[in-house]
Structure 1
Amino acid sequence: MNNILMKIAATARRRRDSRAISEGKLARALLDRFRTTGHRRLAAVVVTAVLSILVASVTISSVQAEPEGLTVTGLPDGTISAATLSAMTLRVDAEGHDPADIRLELDGEPVDGRVDGGTVVYRPGSLPDGEHKFTAEIPVGGFFGFLRTGPGVSEVFTVDNEAPTLTVTQPQAVSSYRQPVMVRGTATGADRVAIGTQSVTPADDGSFEITMPRAPTGAEIVAMDAAGNKATQAISAAIETPKISSVHVTAYGWAHEGLREDVLNMVRDGRINTVQLDIKDEDGVVGYDSQVPLARESGAVEPIYDAPATLRQLHDMGVRVVGRIVAFRDSTMAEWAWNSGRTDWVIQNPYGQPYASKYGAIAFTNFANPEMRKYNIDLAVEAAKLGFDGIMYDYIRRPDGALSQMVFPGATESPTTSIAEFLRESRDPVRDAGADLSAAVFGVAATRPDEIAQDIPLMSKYVDYIAPMLYPSHWNPGEYGVANPNSQPYDIVFRSLQDFRKQTQGTSAKIVPWLQDFSLGVSYGSGEVTAQIDAARDAGVDGFFLWSPTVTYHLAAG
């Protein structure tokens, strides 16, 4: 017994915490008593000593509020959402102790952690709403190894799993990307409601209003509470443009007084409500006084017509204007780029020379090149800001011919994917500038997408409408079961449009076909033109663009 009491006193000298000191004082008192009473009273003294130590340990432990000496990291500030909780990792720093000795509790129940170096890691996972207490401590022995706790820490946190309740009134359709769109709804329990970078604080009853500068593209509205719980809902703000009845006009055609007057007469007679006017043509000539730096530097700009004056005139007559940009068939830019040492701007053959096609020795720019993509987008945005109501890309494809004979410098994806990605890059800048976006595509693209890199379902995701070129003279005999498409304009247009309708299902893209008003092998007049328009209408496609390279049309009054 003498040895036991001496060890307790020595322990008190080594340790400085209040419980150890109290035990040490008690041990010394017992030792003195033992020395004076002798062996006869040994049993009574031992019993008294043990009981006294136990009482002292319990008393001292009861006045210590929380164990100290460990730290916990990983708890976010404020109330914790379900999403945050699922990813939350708590780390207990052992502060020089053996981490294997750390005992963890959550809400008074033991939980298991994982030792990671000098820390213990614990992931709570999911927890019910409300307040929770996490405790970490290192148990240490008192007299006989019980009724004692060592270094520790406790943290209290609150969990909120419930997301706001979001109800959205879908905005009304508008006729242009120049019109703002109002989004209204209620978000009960939310602190913020946002669409993209725009956000508002809901009223006390949860109601909110957000005004978007234009109809959003693939947007969703997000309601968030203080904990970070979210509720989302997609927004479908439709653009309802009137039925398109349009003819193609070149820059030189518009500059020609007689041809221009013929077009204006069709407007006055109500035969058309839209004019498709070239911005950049098949030669790469930009037909008005463009300020796009690369257009001017390359010599592409020829001010053939006055774009602002033209737009004012047609808009005053109630006519929409769609600007056509021949995107990647561009001999002006291709030749200038090649001669300026920018060879990667040009599609090449396997021997490192410009790829020659039926359009010329050097006619196609490289759709995979960022500078060539930006050049066409810059022209589109400039035109939209000038007042063009729509932008249509033509020759948004690779050249005809064997893919094995073409090299697209810098390409990291297939031509088919790259072309669709170009439309994706164009969509928001063009719409932000106020115009809708469309793409002219080959008629065969509905069934042979890789032939010229035009995947209709993929492209349709990024445009307001697809404009398939369904010229009867361009189909092979027997296509779609039509023996002689050029002589059967109704049949080939009606049947080919069925495939385009299937290919655009599930997207918001409309179909407005290009129809033929020129003679190639078969003489075309008002009867053949009317047959194509009737076929489109009967196929469920109400609208058209007419193509005549000479800007002379046989469009009968409707």
Structure 2
Amino acid sequence: MSSQHPYASPPSSRRWGAVSWWFSLLLIVPLLLIIITLIWTQFVAGTGHGGRVFDAYTGEGVDNALVQLGDRETTTSSDGTFSLRGDDTGTIVISLDGYDSAEYVLPATSEDIDPESIEIALRPTTMTGQVTNRVDESPMAGVLVEAIQDGSAVSSAETGEDGGFVLNSIPEDAEIRFSYADYAEVVEPIGERAEMSVSMRPGVISGRVLDEAGEPVRGASVAIDDVFVMTEDDGSFRLENVPEAGELIFKAPGYHALSRELDDQMEFDVTMEDKHIRAIYVTAGAVGSESKWNELLDLAERTEINAMVIDVKDSTGFVFYETEVEMAHELDVVRPQYDVREVLDDLRERGIYTIARQVIFEDPALAEARNDLAIMDSQGGLWRTFNGIAWVSAYEEEVWDYNIELMMEAVELGFDEIQLDYMRFPSDGPLDRAEYGVEEHNSESRSAAIAEYLRRSHEAIMPTKAYLGGDIFGLALWEMGDGGIGQNLEAMTPHLDYIKPMIYPSHFFPGSMGFDVPNDHPYEVIFYSLQNAAERIPDDTNKLRPWLQDFSWGEGREYGPEEVREQIDASDDFGATGWLLWSAGNNYTEGALRPADEE
């Protein structure tokens, strides 16, 4: 009989029981962790937010940007992604050195946004790069690099020995300016980039201008595009801010104009060739008349004459060639008398220097068509001279612009020089009734208006090979004011290459220069007048090129070969850079001129 208790359980294996207990525990613990995580996520931590921060220019993810939402924060991973648990509402703030901070305002309810789809762009505010020398590609140290906004620098840096730079705090839509002494400034819009490398070229041209004897030429103009400078006493010059390409123009009164193509050579020493002008005036009608034109060409062929002054616009206001200036056509003042290109080609082949004569403010055609630009009469209507001629006001800038446009067209056609005539206010007529459209009409305002018109004309013509000359009264060499017409010698001189006083002995008053009849003293009137001008503008005597009379008028001697030659000799003895003969009918005294082979 067994000794086991009848109700006792059969003996169990202790090993299997232990395994079963641990296995159960392994199943229960992970399940509890999952449950706890779900409870935390759904009821404690909220839904949370995730997204990506990227560079606004490159689109690449931004690493280590600080992401903040309320009192919670994290940083982006290497690919720019982030995950941030916290409130469903509020503003996510992203910040990182070298970038503008950015904000993302979360919607009021979580249903309005996918918590893992937030995309935030950061705009770089730091730029890096390198500056090199365009000539030899070497790095440039010490270059000033600036961020420019609204014309002012808002941040700056300087390149190191390797030419590299780091520029911080760059505002949106800024420009980057690179500056270095004697180099052309470089300005680049920032665009959508954080790296910018540029090459800089020398921006300063220097050199000397000499004459054929090797002597310095003082006061020569050196110009390219809209930059220019005048040579010093020793003929040296330094021209800054030159463009990348173009034609460098050298001009000086009494010399042929020169041009040099700009290249990497930044030093130019040039020699200028003398040019002594001996000119006659030719009307448009004479140019258009085959017989008269050939007569004048033959005169130039036989004598010392080497230049012609040709009317392109005279005191009628008419333009005598097929102009493309729109305003001339609107005014219906185009009256072609000759083929300007054909005439210029012919004269160029003959070696004749060409001067375009352009009358400015005695322009009745313009005055009649545009009363708003004209001098008006206080008693009503247009003001007129004693001869019934209407004038435009020299104060009107639209008149300036019209004439500058015609002038530049003449330059483009190929004239060697532009000569402005009647660049003044009227001198006869009921002047007390003249209304000029300004509050103050006096010596100062008149002189200032004429000088400003000349300044603009001179700056327009400066970068071309053409010279600018201006006719003035012979009395202006003696009159210290403006003579009532705005012609003040000192005020006009800086803005002209050639000053052309009309020193007609017949036009001087009795007693002038101590002569009862100045017309009887052609040599002395010319010589003394030029001497007086030289005392007033001692540094610019080379600009003086007088008009001489080849006609008889008024009391005194009849003018023939002797009288005309005396004037020429006086001009030459003074040392003027040339002379011009005036005959309204273009009838010149050949006996006063040297033969061509005696030049």
2:42 is aligned to none
1:111 is aligned to none
1:357 is aligned to 385
> What is the deviation of 1:325?
0.3
1:309 and 2:342 aligned:
yes
Change (3 A) 1:173 1:334: farther
Does the aligned pair in 1 maintain the 2:205–2:239 contact within 8 Å? Answer: no
Partner SS state of residue 282, structure 1: coil
1:373 is aligned to 400
2:460 is aligned to 429
1:195 and 2:240 aligned:
yes
Change (3 A) 1:523 1:163: closer
> What is the deviation of 1:314?
0.3
Kindly indicate which of the two structures has a greater share of residues assigned to helix: 1
Q: How many residues align?
A: 369
Partner SS state of residue 332, structure 1: helix
Q: Where do 1:500-515 residues align within 5 Å?
A: 500-507=533-540, 510-515=543-548
> What is the deviation of 1:406?
2.8
Amino acid paired to 1:437: L
1:540 is aligned to 575
1:518 is aligned to 551
Q: Counterparts of 1:255 and 1:443 in 2: how far apart (Å)? A: 30
Q: Counterparts of 1:319 and 1:297 in 2: how far apart (Å)? A: 33
Change (3 A) 1:551 1:544: same
1:443 is aligned to 474
1:386 is aligned to 413
1:552 is aligned to 587
Q: Where do 1:88-127 residues align within 5 Å?
A: none
Q: Counterparts of 1:478 and 1:312 in 2: how far apart (Å)? A: 47
> What is the deviation of 1:236?
11
Amino acid paired to 2:243: Q
The structure with the largest alpha-carbon Rg is: 2
> What is the deviation of 1:557?
3.6
Give the percent of matched residue pairs that are identical in Structure 1 and Structure 2.
32
1:491 and 2:524 aligned:
yes
Amino acid paired to 1:431: M
> What is the deviation of 1:518?
1.0
Q: Counterparts of 1:470 and 1:213 in 2: how far apart (Å)? A: 35
Q: Counterparts of 1:194 and 1:554 in 2: how far apart (Å)? A: 46
Alignment counterpart, residue 330 of structure 2, candidates 297, 302, 307: 297
Does the aligned pair in 2 maintain the 1:436–1:464 contact within 8 Å? Answer: yes
Q: Deviations over 1:445-491 (max 9, x none)?
A: 12323222101111110111100001111111111112211122112
Partner SS state of residue 466, structure 1: strand
Does the aligned pair in 1 maintain the 2:498–2:545 contact within 8 Å? Answer: yes
Does the aligned pair in 2 maintain the 1:472–1:488 contact within 8 Å? Answer: yes
Alignment counterpart, residue 427 of structure 2, candidates 384, 400, 404: 400
Q: Counterparts of 1:407 and 1:319 in 2: how far apart (Å)? A: 43
Q: Where do 1:3-22 residues align within 5 Å?
A: none
> Any unmatched runs of 5+ in structure 2?
1-127, 129-140, 145-153, 155-179, 184-203, 229-237, 253-266, 595-599
Q: Counterparts of 2:558 and 2:507 in 1: how far apart (Å)? A: 14
1:463 is aligned to 496
Change (3 A) 1:508 1:541: closer
Q: Deviations over 1:519-553 (max 9, x none)?
A: 11342111111011011122222421100011110
> What is the deviation of 1:420?
0.9
Partner SS state of residue 506, structure 1: helix
1:4 is aligned to none
Alignment counterpart, residue 376 of structure 2, candidates 348, 354, 362: 348
Change (3 A) 1:354 1:237: farther
Does the aligned pair in 1 maintain the 2:275–2:577 contact within 8 Å? Answer: no
1:479 is aligned to 512
1:170 and 2:208 aligned:
yes
Amino acid paired to 1:498: Q
Q: Counterparts of 2:450 and 2:269 in 1: how far apart (Å)? A: 26
1:264 is aligned to 297
Partner SS state of residue 386, structure 2: coil
Q: Counterparts of 2:270 and 2:536 in 1: how far apart (Å)? A: 22
Partner SS state of residue 396, structure 1: coil
> What is the deviation of 1:348?
2.1
> What is the deviation of 1:505?
2.4
Change (3 A) 1:399 1:240: farther
> What is the deviation of 1:431?
3.2
Q: TM-score, normalised by structure 2?
A: 0.55
> What is the deviation of 1:410?
4.7
> Any unmatched runs of 5+ in structure 1?
1-76, 82-90, 92-160, 184-192, 200-209, 218-233, 338-342
Q: Counterparts of 1:310 and 1:178 in 2: how far apart (Å)? A: 29
> What is the deviation of 1:352?
5.2
Does the aligned pair in 2 maintain the 1:344–1:366 contact within 8 Å? Answer: no
Does the aligned pair in 2 maintain the 1:177–1:239 contact within 8 Å? Answer: no
Q: Deviations over 1:422-449 (max 9, x none)?
A: 0100012223343110000001112323
Alignment counterpart, residue 447 of structure 2, candidates 399, 416, 438: 416
> What is the deviation of 1:251?
0.1
Amino acid paired to 2:585: T
> What is the deviation of 1:258?
2.5
What's the Cα RMSD here?
Answer: 4.0
> What is the deviation of 1:492?
1.1
Change (3 A) 1:507 1:288: same
Partner SS state of residue 450, structure 1: coil
Does the aligned pair in 2 maintain the 1:269–1:557 contact within 8 Å? Answer: no
